[in-house]
Amino acid sequence: MPPIPELEVIRKAQILEAALKTISASGYANVTMDDICRAAGLSKGGLAHYYRSKNELFIAVFKEFFERIFQRSKQTMALYENPIDKLLSFDWLYDRNDPDVNVGYPVLFDCMSLAVREKEYRSLFHDWFENWVSLLKDAIDDGLKKGIFRNLDSESTARAISAVYQGIATRWYLDSASHPTEWAVESFKKAIKGLLLPNNI
């Protein structure tokens, strides 16, 4: 009997969600395919039908989850008219009560550690960075057209803003005692406004 496409989509989503939660909770190095089978309620053969290795599955989890984060980011930015507000709309990345934050950072850091030595994961990070830069650049270009920003190179500024968000997020997540949420939000706002409107800071 041939596979039913709708059921295949549902089953893949079930596997990816189970793998995401399992890897986030225990760490990529500590999770086995058996763990993911149990979490997804599948046999080894059932899981292998979709993903032949933990590496293949983790890459799929990373891509799927962070596509979700990008879509959420676009929706959040779309709530604002002013390009500056769009570029400052990521304070939800520093909310420990947010389910995406709690699941996402451990997966992100796992992927970063793998990217140190593995080219395939560096390629994932390249795509991750470029997606953020594109998202931010669109808002900067809009600000340039409206005359809100002047004398900015939109791409290099977008890369700098992306780096500000990531650097602050790393300290906030890994050392919240010294880098609390209030510090994170105030710091990224000051840094980004300084890049966009240097004469007003």
Q: How confident is the model over 111-126, as pLDDT tens digits?
A: 999 999 999 999 999 9
Region 59-200: CATH code = 1.10.357.10
pLDDT reported for residue 1: 46
Amino acid, single-letter form, for residue 98:
D
Q: Is the pTM of this model over 0.85?
A: yes
Question: Predicted confidence band at 44 (pLDDT cuts at 50, 70, 90)?
Answer: confident
Mean pLDDT of 135-156: 95
Provide the residue ranges of all domains of the chain, joining segments of one domain with +.
1-52, 59-200
In angstroms, what CA-CA distances link 54 with 13, 36, 43, 59? 16, 9, 15, 9
pLDDT tens profile 66-125: 999 999 999 999 999 999 999 999 999 999 999 999 999 999 999 999 999 999 999 999
Domain 1-52 has CATH 1.10.3720.10: no
